[in-house]
Amino acid sequence: MVEIVSTGNEEIDRQFGGGLPAPSLVFISGDHGTGKSALAAQMMIGFTTSKKRVLCVIENTVKQYLQKMKSITFNFTRAFVRNQILFVPMYIRDANWSEKNSERILTEIKAYMIKKADAYDVIILDSISPMVLNSNEESILNFLSFCKETVGLGKTIIITSHLSDFSNAANTAIIGASDVYLKLGLMTVGDKEVKTLKAIKMLGAKDTPASGFAFEVDLIFGIKIVPVSMANA
């Protein structure tokens, strides 16, 4: 049964048709600087507020991630200390990031997710980019199938990625497999650059979701919707 979970941001909930469907496979795709990590963090706020346990795989150290998120008003320290969130950094001190070793990352992440899945309601990969850097298309599609199976067991998986991470064929498969697919970008409004979100796919929404919206990441208010219509963007 699909549950609608608030993102912790009323404006985003309205745009999403009530909140985020769970369980679901959520892909947040966009280039560098489009707000992927901030949006994933906003969703994590919503899940932790709803008493869900979250496993979050990150690129930086835990300290760096917590400091970065705190700088844009997302404070996960309490949830982290209370073991409601487990942060797993991909950063390994003095690791040899050879092509051969990086090919194994996706397989190792999958094994870790299997090991920890029973203890967590939500798994966030922010971002999948270094995990697929030297992975072939078959490995990527197999991982996608694994994610769908995990969602079928009642888990929500949120993945952030760059637009260039996958081939056209893989991107098509990802959009088809996703329950929620959000494409982020940038646009200029007057003399100001804002971030944009297009809801390519939003299955299970309570109400009809908006096709898209513009937003900015405010250092005081976090994610703030900008009143610019994205319907024809």
Spatial CB neighbours of 204, under 8 Å, sequence gap ≥ 6:
2, 4, 21, 24, 179
Mean pLDDT over 177-206 rounds to 93
**Tens digits of per-residue pLDDT, 102-122?**
668 888 899 999 999 999 999
CA–CA dist 216, 196 (Å, integer) = 8
- Supply the pTM of this predicted model: 0.93
Joined tokens for residue 139? 């490995």
Q: Quick one: how many helices (H) and strands (E) in the chain?
A: 8, 11
Mean pLDDT over 5-15 rounds to 96
Confidence tier at 170 by pLDDT (50, 70, 90): very high
Mean pLDDT over 157-186 rounds to 94
Residue 166 has pLDDT above 50, yes or no: yes
**Tens digits of per-residue pLDDT, 16-55?**
999 999 999 999 999 999 999 999 999 999 999 999 999 9
Residue indicated by tokens 């950094």:
89
CA–CA dist 178, 167 (Å, integer) = 16
Domain count, the chain: 1
* Element spanning 22, H or E: strand 20-22
Residue indicated by tokens 């949830």:
79
**Looking at residue 102, what is its pLDDT?**
60
**Looking at residue 91, what is its pLDDT?**
65
CA–CA dist 113, 120 (Å, integer) = 10
**Looking at residue 218, what is its pLDDT?**
87
Write out the residue range of the structural domain in which residue 189 sits: 3-229
The rounded percent of the chain whose pLDDT value lies above 70 is 92
Spatial CB neighbours of 152, under 8 Å, sequence gap ≥ 6:
23
Spatial CB neighbours of 75, under 8 Å, sequence gap ≥ 6:
69
For residue 108, the domain's CATH number is 3.40.50.300
* Closest by Cα among 163, 170, 161 to 138: 170
DSSP string, 33-58: TSSHHHHHHHHHHHHHHTT--EEEEE
Residue 14 DSSP label: H
Residue 217 DSSP label: E
Residue 168 has pLDDT above 80, yes or no: yes
**Looking at residue 32, what is its pLDDT?**
92
Q: Pick the more confident residue, 91 or 163.
A: 163
